[in-house]
Amino acid sequence: MTTRVPWQPDAYLDLVRRACFICELLAGNADYPHHVAYRDEFAIVFASAFPSVLGHFLVAPVVHREHVIDDFTAEEYLAIQAVVHRAGRALGDLVPTERLYVLSLGSQQGNRHVHWHLAPLPPGVPYEEQQAALFAPERGYLDVPDDELADLSRRLGERMAT
């Protein structure tokens, strides 16, 4: 059974301002554990530590980049968007999805390393709870059991590899 956990804004701000969580994940820092589904020389796909829905994953460049457009050549941008597309297609095969939300969040004040969120909206969610409301802090985040998250990450990686 997956439950929701209340959002803790102060703890979250401390986490995202202390260090680049993506660079720390890539460096293998145990203080920043994530389930990695896929990685190549250019991009990494990993499960969100604070999932708004089941199947919430992030795609990020391996090299630290901060601006969603200006830090990429057209070819680099298209290459990472190809990973976003592959991950999104694979997620849709694994998790019931009414619509896949793809968005880039972050700020120069925290979460500086550019990344894209892939959040599969489950079928049947009332319209008032969709779109931006899906990510509202007052909803908290899902407490997905670690073994389920590890299995979903593994299956996503397998689908992306084919």
The answer to whether the beta carbons of residues 58 and 48 sit under 8 Å apart is yes
- What lies within 8 Å, CB to CB, of 11 at 6+ separation is none
Q: List, in sequence order, every residue forming a beta bridge with 47; answer none if it has no partner.
A: 57
Q: By percentage, how much of the chain surpasses pLDDT 70?
A: 99
Pairing of strands 3-5, 116-121: unpaired
pLDDT of residue 17: 80
Could you tell me which residues come within 8 angstroms of residue 103 by beta carbon, excluding any fewer than 6 positions away?
Answer: 116, 117, 119
If you average pLDDT over residues 108-130, what whole number do you get? 94
The residue extents of the domains of the chain are 3-161
Q: How large is the average pLDDT for residues 120-143?
A: 95
Would you state the CATH architecture of domain 3-161? 2-Layer Sandwich (3.30)
| Helical packing angle, 74-94 and 146-161, nearest 10° | 120
Q: What is the DSSP letter of 61?
A: E
Say how far apart CA 7 and CA 136 lie, in whole Å. Answer: 9
Residue 141 in 3-state DSSP? strand
Please name the helix (run of DSSP H) or strand (run of DSSP E) that holds residue 101, with its range, or none: strand 99-104
As given in the structure block, the two tokens for residue 80 are: 């990472």
Residue pair 46/36 in contact by the 8 Å Cβ criterion:
yes
pTM for the structure as a whole: 0.94
With 0-12 / 13-18 / 19 or more C-beta atoms within 10 angstroms meaning exposed / middle / buried, residue 92 is: middle
Average pLDDT estimate for 16-21: 85
- CA quadruple 125, 131, 135, 136: dihedral sign: negative
> Model confidence over 144-162: pLDDT tens digits?
999 999 999 999 999 999 8
User: Which pLDDT belongs to residue 1?
Assistant: 53
Band of pLDDT at residue 10, cut at 50, 70 and 90: confident
